[in-house]
Structure 1
Amino acid sequence: MEITIKVNTSQDIAALEKLVQALKASTETAVTAAQEPVNPTPVFMNPVPGAVTNPGPAVNTGSAPWTNQPFTAPVETLPTTTPGYTIEDLAKAASLLAGAGKRDQILALMNSFGVGMLTELPKEHFGAFAVKLRELGAKI
């Protein structure tokens, strides 16, 4: 994935540096920032020319206690392995397809894998066979 960001001001650079630091903390991956180290003081962006640069100290409205902890966004964990299929999973999917009038395509698929019966299919080919079943319309 590639992201292009145009930076126009030193405030933009500081904001991007904070974003990089937050991502680094939340994902615990090595992210190398090409800019100077992040300034620990808050940066206020001026959306309107002439607006107040620093509005003063923040005020707690009482709705939640303040903390000095950095914001960390939740990180969704993605599977790192392919799903495992059993012979029963493949047989059920193939059976449903055969019942839907695709018996000849199932036989041709098994033939393309060099087997006459599904039970002869080696386990290392289960994933590829499942992909081909999906291409025929199986929900597996």
Structure 2
Amino acid sequence: MIATIKTTLNAQSISQIIEEVSTLQETGEGCWKVEYNKRILFLIVDEIHDRVRIMTPIIKEEDLDEEDLWDVMEANFDRSLDARYAVGDGVLWSLFLHPLTDLSRNLFLDGLDQVVTLANNFGGSFCSSDIIFGSE
């Protein structure tokens, strides 16, 4: 049997990954504003509450119509994987929220990609990746 060692991410290691894969716009303790794949992303690490949040704004809440709201709710059920649509502070966001202690480098990078893909697919497929839950 081969033992595997899981490397848990923390604010410092996430900061290093962010510097490798994105363009840093602003930073503070446990938070970053970056450009990643032509989108502005906000990242927050809360080590006390064991959470990491990756999010990007999509559209102002006031510009959403009822059909948009139904589309994002349905997408959250079967077309988004780890990223989700969420409304907060008057904005529709694409959001990835995950326990920090269970987060690997690959899952973090996948979270970045899913947030961008979900935001870019708003108004179209509303998917966070090529995988759709329940499809063949």
Q: Which bin holds the TM-score, normalised by the shorter protein? A: under 0.3
Q: As a proportion of its length, which structure holds more strand?
A: 2
- Higher relative contact order (Cα pairs below 8 Å, separated by 6+ residues): 2
Scaled by the length of structure 1, the TM-score of the pair is 0.25
**TM-score, normalised by the number of residues in structure 2:** 0.25
| Structure ranking higher in helix proportion | 1
